[in-house]
A and B are shown apart, each in its own frame.
Chain A
Amino acid sequence: QITLKESGPTLVRPTQTLTLTCTFSGFSLSTSGVSVGWIRQPPGKALEWLGLIYWDDDKRYSPSLKSRLTITKDTSKNQVVLTMTNMDPVDTATYFCTHRIPPDYWGQGSLVTVSS
């Protein structure tokens, strides 16, 4: 059974860096073809792709956020980490990590509020 779970702070101050960890089970990110992605959803709004990392460590970032995003993986821990710098109130959203393309399994989501 595949599961993913996001963890990290619920409140971030403006200009701070957000670090979210996706801990997963039921698959290996060293298996060919596998990827873990990050998607966010501001309250009441639509979904937005942030980026993803593939089994071979290839990465994709949203062009509009590329300068602020870093995605890394720790295959031995079954974890993927999303780092987003210079957080702003507009980044307030629920952040999801997902399995494969298109995402067939999603984490429960982590609501991150950016506020002073």
Chain B
Amino acid sequence: DIVMTQSPATLSVSPGERVTLSCRASQTFSSNLAWYQQKPGQTPRLLIYGASTRATGFPARFSGSGSGTEFTLTISSLQSEDFAVYYCQQYNNWPWTFGQGTKVEIK
């Protein structure tokens, strides 16, 4: 199985700050990487797919990048509604696997 490791586990951030979340894979692959946003008590929402394509409904302040084993989710200017847990997931090799998540909390 491909192990997905996210860092940091928790990120304390002030609104307006730039945020960078990391996702590292134990095996290399090209771009079959997705990011999800999950707010407390809510269902995860697809945020990024294909490593860098933003899903419908998410603003341009969210961007994804990377390939190989290193992937990044960047939020250019954190808004109050962005505080959530973010998961990465590879869908290159079955079984698809998620990272453990990064919680973005208010500083």
Contact = CB atoms under 8 A, between A and B. Distances in A.
Interface residues of B, number: 20
Given A47-B87, A63-B1, A96-B43, A102 B34 contact: yes
Interface string B88-106: 0101001111111100000
| B interface SS class | loop
B55 interface: yes
B15 interface: no
B43 A106 contact: yes
Interface residues of A, number: 16
Nearest to B1: A63
Contact of B46 (A60, A96, A104, A109): A104
B44 interface: yes
A101 B87 contact: no
Contacts, number: 41
B44 A102 contact: no
Contact of B95 (A47, A60, A103): A60
Nearest to A107: B43
A102 B55 CA distance: 11
Interface of B: 1, 34, 36, 43-46, 49, 55, 87, 89, 91, 94-101
Interface of A: 46-49, 60, 62-63, 96, 101-104, 106-109
